């Protein structure tokens, strides 16, 4: 949606909202990040800010000592703008669900070109373990909001 206003009074208003989601259950045992959800937004002005709110659902570990990590990357996939600390999947003898992770960040891309953000996850520390996201077909989402600057 768009919020109309006169010049100089639009600052701080939400100009557009884009949301993407995915419920594909995904497992990894790799330290290489895997894309989970991708969303793009095209700012209307170089002074606009992009507020993103990302939610990674139903994180799970099947191996004692397996860790997972969730991050948000911007555009080319080379700029990490926010991440969780590695979470311990389990330290006991059985698999465990560790809940969800939410990340919010206010970005200043200074561009009117399409800006792409991705939720990614990996398993950076493991004794040959596996971590899962969207277990039980839970949904991970990313919401992008253009804020007038």
Measured between alpha carbons, how far is 96 from 113 in angstroms, rounded to an integer? 42
pLDDT digits (tens, 9 = 90+) for 67-120: 778 888 887 555 666 666 555 455 555 556 667 788 888 989 899 999 999 988
Task: Look at residue 138 in the predicted model and tell me its pLDDT.
Answer: 87
Tell me how far CA of residue 92 lies from CA of 80, 96, 144, in angstroms: 31, 9, 38
pLDDT digits (tens, 9 = 90+) for 27-64: 888 888 889 999 999 999 999 999 999 988 877 777 66
pLDDT digits (tens, 9 = 90+) for 5-33: 555 568 899 999 999 999 998 888 888 88
Task: Look at residue 72 in the predicted model and tell me its pLDDT.
Answer: 84
Measured between alpha carbons, how far is 134 from 21 in angstroms, rounded to an integer? 11
């Amino acid at each position: 949606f768009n919020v109309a206003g006169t010049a100089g009074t639009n600052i701080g208003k939400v100009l557009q909202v884009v949301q993407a989601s995915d419920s594909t259950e995904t497992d990894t045992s790799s330290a290489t990040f895997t894309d989970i959800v991708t969303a793009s937004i095209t700012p209307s002005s170089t002074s606009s800010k992009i507020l993103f709110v990302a939610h990674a659902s139903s994180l799970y570990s099947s191996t004692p000592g397996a860790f997972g990590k969730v991050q948000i990357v911007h555009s080319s996939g080379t700029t990490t703008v926010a991440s969780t600390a590695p979470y311990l999947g389990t330290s006991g003898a059985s698999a465990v669900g560790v809940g969800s992770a939410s990340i919010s960040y206010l970005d200043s891309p200074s561009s009117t070109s399409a800006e792409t953000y991705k939720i990614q996850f990996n398993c950076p520390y493991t004794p040959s373990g596996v971590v899962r996201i969207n277990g039980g077909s839970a949904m991970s989402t990313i919401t992008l909001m253009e804020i007038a600057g």
